[in-house]
Structure 1
């Protein structure tokens, strides 16, 4: 319900738009004092009176009549006066309560709370795998890079108010500065302790997903006027496998920030488009609607939100320029749509462009003032803003000249090509930087997330099912209808979501990681299809997709009772059955097993016993796990560099013992389906000591942890037995070891040449060498001590 201040402002706006209606409004005020109003009492035509109702100045009563909202505010407006806003906590609470009731009933809020619990629950499926023995074990490899920088900034800062740290974040400034800053600041806010950092790492992804769910709900209801679409969209988002993985508890990355600010940007731009559309539909003249939209205080508040979303998105992640490409496409097509619908582009897009320009200044300011990110990322929003101003300027000229919209579309294409060519010709941006960015996004190989969503090996259609679920194809149907719709009629808000949906679908065709952004929009369109299906089979009240009739929008939310309720939830469950099966499986692929975590802790304990420090404590393993092991052992998880494959590819592991990651002393070997490597067999199968059927042993590697699928080793210098003999041609040094609670005969062989051979042993013990015996202690093994053995 609008406040008196809002009714006063709206009435003054109405009188500015229609000066000749002043006396009619005065008479309405006079009649209000004596009786309830009917349409027969009104000296306004139906269009003007309908505008009073749509602005919230007049409301309908239960008896079918009408009454003025806050007559005292209307009286002040007739006198040309504004009324002072009341202040105080109680007034602010009342305003918030009124706004919430107007947007959603308590029943709707309850339904929204239910689907948000679903969102959070899906991201806690691997709770026991994340929260272990007082540690937060993040799923995946990359979160440990973000946790590394979070802890680095905590060590550098002097508290939550230490703004100087923002300009001194070192290597974190080059790619994702705002992400690292937010992760640090939130940890600092919770106390700045290691426990606070772990809490943020664990729970921030879940909170971010829930916040994004709220954004998607508001966006869906804003576009459709139907809370059922909003709730179903949140459910589809909450159970999309690819999105669950990237926002699961512990998965601290740039993605949770990126998705949220992307959602806020789209929501803000959609609100501006819907506001104009509603004003246009309540007025007979497009120019009047556009000017009212431009003058509205709400429009400029939302423009500020656009600015913050643009500025934040520019510094959230390395590929931030990609975020603004669909914005540029939308502005170009929106201008053509405005011209075709006889809407003045300059007034219609003014707040959006100012918001985009303001965000550009924020992005550039952080780049120049704090050294954040590279020039391409910082300047992209500004380039889009300048291009948008040029396109809208041409569009405004086209509108005034009453030229056809298709001509404008052709000119925009020429302007876009000329603009891109100008960037290279005048070297405003280094071509190599653009080339490197494109290569990183579209042609990077190795990681699973760099494969196509529509990969042929997945029969093209199965990729979307595994990553997004069945809702993807429901959304595709609604997206096709919406695309046709925005071509046929003026729908600026739907045009925005259509542009973003097709854009991220195209990116996902190159790399599946973009499917998580696509989910934001596919969930929206899937919910439209889903609600339509449920209404069509009679489980819920009717639903008209993409309805423009206000009578079809904003109807009360109600869950049917009896058997129908069971059928309803059962049908929704069928729509999500594939997601319910795939989500646990996909999450399980990125979480770490008990063995891997135990191996990391065992290495850490061993390093403490040996009094080793970094880089001696560096752990080498498969690059997809290297950050996790190093985080728990030495805290140095900023790099995923690995020499693991070179180790396992060698003929014998001892030849690579001094060439591990950072020349460290530890390596974790994981089970392989195809154990074709000799080094793998020596270490994983034989444990370096000739375990099982493996005869070849190692003189440089000691097992420190032995699991079924993961085995950790430490590198030692190995004690050197200098064996001399004038008669023997070969010699064996052997001792009995206890490895993994099993006694094993450890043997090292050597061929004597010219009466001499060196045998390197990796374990302390009482060795038998021919007819001689020697004691090798722990110190000798770690220092490479030379021990003489004379056989004759």
Structure 2
């Protein structure tokens, strides 16, 4: 195969380059060698002519490589290079020429992404444990382990039947994929831990590669691709979601988005006429569109939102087609084939496995129907001489009709859709439901750094490029603006937005570098020009680094900050291991060893203690009321028979009578006029005191006699995590001089009365656990 496509093939793919080609050919006929300043075209078009081999560098000047072939192509005498022999490679599909130097720079950029995602390895691999970050990853770890326990091999897909309804209608493809990958390596719990820990990093690298290919494809400039990858590395909202150990479901969405967007660009830029439809490239892209759209809806119940940009792309492309008097059916045929394939794939998997609801899996089918209608109206407008404005009005009217039919003709489905819409616009204590510009969160700065401000001008410019019949920019702009709108509603979509934001930020960065004269404005991807553009001299390289720091420094600072907020801190992990050891020593099994904690760490605690990490619902409903209540008996009744351990961490509660202050600050001991607690034996305290853990026990009752109505105090010293803390309780003898008081800790107690009498009594551990009685001699 030849190194570059022929002029005919290029102009078939990109008819918008015909005017630029004619202008360059005219200058070439008049001058024996010329520079960019001599030709009346922009740098983007010039870069495409160079990358296609139509223009080549000749020393310090340029010339048309084969003027006769170009003239023939312009006259329609040559449509496709004959030396290709019908063969195809990856370069044909994505229009990306592999070059050792460019590949080396890409690998270096990917290494930056890798380091930015894995530097927390010491927080994930602790001793013999794999400690995932945050709370939700343990939910997926639990279910992957459940599937693996029921599976005979990697081919035993029947094991997926153990997935509960909530997960089947949530993220089934993610769990199935992680289980399948883990099963290839044996499927043990340890292997599953490794797979879940590393899958976000793999997602980040795959996404970065797809982003690079997409950026190069739409900009014809490898510098934009490299800059995009580097900006992606330091977008905090993407970095922490793809950090080592953060096995949340969002990272699973990113490659599907990148694949779909890249496939759309390839499909629309290769299907330019009927001749091009006989080539394999647009149909390979159609497969990518189908796999991408099906993957998105099967990966997450909110996946249909991520398919929305495809509908905008089709709508925008048909308007451009009518505006340029060309067939919308020809241009969009691979896209139609792709979304149709996606609809068949998604619905078939739903039918066989039961994954996702019918409403979710019908999204690609609805997209296909909409694509058919939009293409048909565009073809009708072109045939009958309709204008773009008229077509837009018709499309809008059809959209309103479709909405009304759905609203009043499918009431049950509308109810489900409306409830999902309410979930999208809800805002509660969960941080990811905040809006991007919420002043309480400042997500636009803390999650995106300065990348958003760098990207917004280019996003606006992208709309203008799209309006001028640039299909690649139509795709990237549609994705960027739709995902930006979703992120404005809820910051959970920041990670999905990040790739496209990085692309536009990369474009602005290259433009800014050229504006300050430290980079060439001309896009060159030919042999000589590639080296000039990608490997600047030392001084220019230093200037580029400083410029990148200017735009990316806030993101560089925020990446470790945001990542540190999701990793499991040492105190919480140590508390979990201490609880697990205590439960094992006592022979407790679930639910006797259930750990009550703040809901944001509850799955982690219970995974390590009892292996049950499916839900944090009880903790979310119970923990805050428990620690804030002021009545010890009320608190104990709330959790009795349901909780084996309570894990506390620092909070803002300051009222001395609350359970939080009594437990976390005083270990259940009496403090001033605030009585001590009878049922919480401390088993762990972190070095800084931020995390504590208590076993919920029946308590041993110390009985004895004293002067009637006298005050009786019992006190001992308790060893907790190599620390000694005082534990004291107090009661009053009755009129007969009898007293009884329950204590939560074993040990030797000093029993004193207000009259000065003092005795000692030993409280055995078993009495504390079984609720036994101990009499003072």
The equivalent residue for 2:536 is 560
Q: Please say if residues 764 and 777 of structure 1, whose CA atoms lie closer than 8 Å, have aligned partners that are also in contact.
A: yes
Q: Please say if residues 216 and 225 of structure 2, whose CA atoms lie closer than 8 Å, have aligned partners that are also in contact.
A: yes
Structure 1 segment 611-626 matched on structure 2, within 5 A = 611-626=587-602
Q: Find 1:317's aligned residue among 293, 297, 300.
A: 300
Per-residue CA deviations over 1:622-646 (Å, capped at 9, x if unaligned) read 1111111111111111112211101
Structure 2 CA distance for partners of 1:144 and 1:58, relative to 1, 3 Å: same
The equivalent residue for 1:715 is 696
The equivalent residue for 2:727 is 746
The equivalent residue for 2:675 is 696
Per-residue CA deviations over 1:643-695 (Å, capped at 9, x if unaligned) read 110111111345323534981211111012443362111101101134x7785
How far does residue 431 in structure 1 lie from its aligned partner after superposition?
2.6
SS in 2 for 1:624: helix
Structure 2 CA distance for partners of 1:507 and 1:572, relative to 1, 3 Å: same
Distance 2:774 2:743 in 1: 11
SS in 2 for 1:215: helix
Structure 1 segment 364-375 matched on structure 2, within 5 A = 364-375=347-358
Q: Is 1:439 equivalent to 2:422 in the alignment?
A: yes
**Greater CA drift, 510-519 or 669-678:** 669-678
Q: Please say if residues 709 and 734 of structure 2, whose CA atoms lie closer than 8 Å, have aligned partners that are also in contact.
A: no
Distance 2:158 2:593 in 1: 32
Distance 1:721 1:779 in 2: 14
Structure 1 segment 722-741 matched on structure 2, within 5 A = 727-728=708-709, 730-741=711-722
The equivalent residue for 1:104 is 98
**Greater CA drift, 747-756 or 248-257:** 747-756
Structure 2 CA distance for partners of 1:408 and 1:96, relative to 1, 3 Å: closer
How far does residue 514 in structure 1 lie from its aligned partner after superposition?
1.1
The equivalent residue for 1:603 is 579
Distance 2:489 2:123 in 1: 31
**Greater CA drift, 168-177 or 573-582:** 168-177
The equivalent residue for 1:467 is 447
The equivalent residue for 2:20 is none
How far does residue 542 in structure 1 lie from its aligned partner after superposition?
1.5
Q: Is 1:385 equivalent to 2:361 in the alignment?
A: no
Per-residue CA deviations over 1:493-534 (Å, capped at 9, x if unaligned) read 211211211111111111112111111111111111110110
Distance 1:290 1:97 in 2: 20
Structure 1 segment 236-255 matched on structure 2, within 5 A = 236-255=231-250
Structure 1 segment 164-183 matched on structure 2, within 5 A = 164-171=158-165, 172-183=167-178
Structure 2 CA distance for partners of 1:742 and 1:540, relative to 1, 3 Å: closer
Q: Find 2:512's aligned residue among 533, 536, 550.
A: 533
The equivalent residue for 2:494 is 515
The equivalent residue for 2:118 is 124
The equivalent residue for 2:257 is 262
How far does residue 786 in structure 1 lie from its aligned partner after superposition?
4.0
Distance 2:265 2:560 in 1: 34
How far does residue 700 in structure 1 lie from its aligned partner after superposition?
0.2
Structure 2 CA distance for partners of 1:407 and 1:64, relative to 1, 3 Å: closer
Q: Please say if residues 139 and 590 of structure 1, whose CA atoms lie closer than 8 Å, have aligned partners that are also in contact.
A: yes
Q: Please say if residues 53 and 526 of structure 2, whose CA atoms lie closer than 8 Å, have aligned partners that are also in contact.
A: no
The equivalent residue for 2:229 is 234
Q: Is 1:213 equivalent to 2:189 in the alignment?
A: no
Structure 2 CA distance for partners of 1:219 and 1:407, relative to 1, 3 Å: same
Structure 1 segment 409-420 matched on structure 2, within 5 A = 409-420=392-403
Distance 2:104 2:244 in 1: 24
The equivalent residue for 2:413 is 430
Q: Please say if residues 50 and 56 of structure 2, whose CA atoms lie closer than 8 Å, have aligned partners that are also in contact.
A: no
Q: What is the CA RMSD across the aligned residues, in angstroms?
A: 3.6
Q: Please say if residues 95 and 217 of structure 2, whose CA atoms lie closer than 8 Å, have aligned partners that are also in contact.
A: no
Structure 2 CA distance for partners of 1:753 and 1:61, relative to 1, 3 Å: closer
How far does residue 752 in structure 1 lie from its aligned partner after superposition?
4.6
Structure 1 segment 19-34 matched on structure 2, within 5 A = none
The equivalent residue for 2:109 is 115
Per-residue CA deviations over 1:236-272 (Å, capped at 9, x if unaligned) read 1111001001000011122121011011111100111
Equivalenced residues, count: 718
The equivalent residue for 2:763 is 776
Structure 2 CA distance for partners of 1:261 and 1:727, relative to 1, 3 Å: same
Per-residue CA deviations over 1:358-386 (Å, capped at 9, x if unaligned) read 11111111111101011221111111111
Distance 2:66 2:371 in 1: 44
SS in 2 for 1:609: helix
Q: Please say if residues 709 and 735 of structure 2, whose CA atoms lie closer than 8 Å, have aligned partners that are also in contact.
A: no
Distance 1:218 1:649 in 2: 54
Distance 1:554 1:345 in 2: 35
Distance 2:553 2:401 in 1: 49
The TM-score with structure 2 as length reference comes to: 0.85
Structure 1 segment 627-642 matched on structure 2, within 5 A = 627-641=603-617, 642=619
Per-residue CA deviations over 1:374-413 (Å, capped at 9, x if unaligned) read 1221111111111111111111111111201111111111
Q: Please say if residues 620 and 667 of structure 1, whose CA atoms lie closer than 8 Å, have aligned partners that are also in contact.
A: yes
How far does residue 739 in structure 1 lie from its aligned partner after superposition?
4.1
Q: Please say if residues 734 and 745 of structure 1, whose CA atoms lie closer than 8 Å, have aligned partners that are also in contact.
A: yes
The equivalent residue for 1:764 is 746
Q: Please say if residues 205 and 247 of structure 1, whose CA atoms lie closer than 8 Å, have aligned partners that are also in contact.
A: yes
How far does residue 221 in structure 1 lie from its aligned partner after superposition?
0.3
Q: Please say if residues 675 and 730 of structure 2, whose CA atoms lie closer than 8 Å, have aligned partners that are also in contact.
A: no
Structure 2 CA distance for partners of 1:623 and 1:703, relative to 1, 3 Å: same
SS in 2 for 1:246: coil
The TM-score with structure 1 as length reference comes to: 0.83
The equivalent residue for 2:18 is none
Per-residue CA deviations over 1:47-80 (Å, capped at 9, x if unaligned) read xxxxxx99989998989775999xxxxxxx99xx
Distance 1:104 1:556 in 2: 16
Q: Find 1:353's aligned residue among 329, 336, 342.
A: 336
Task: Name stretches of at least 5 consecutive residues in structure 1 with no aligned partner.
Answer: 18-37, 39-52, 70-76, 87-91, 277-288
Distance 1:761 1:83 in 2: 86
Q: Is 1:647 equivalent to 2:641 in the alignment?
A: no
Q: Find 1:684's aligned residue among 656, 659, 664.
A: 664
Structure 1 segment 578-593 matched on structure 2, within 5 A = 578-593=554-569
Structure 2 CA distance for partners of 1:395 and 1:55, relative to 1, 3 Å: farther
Distance 1:313 1:629 in 2: 31
Distance 2:366 2:162 in 1: 27
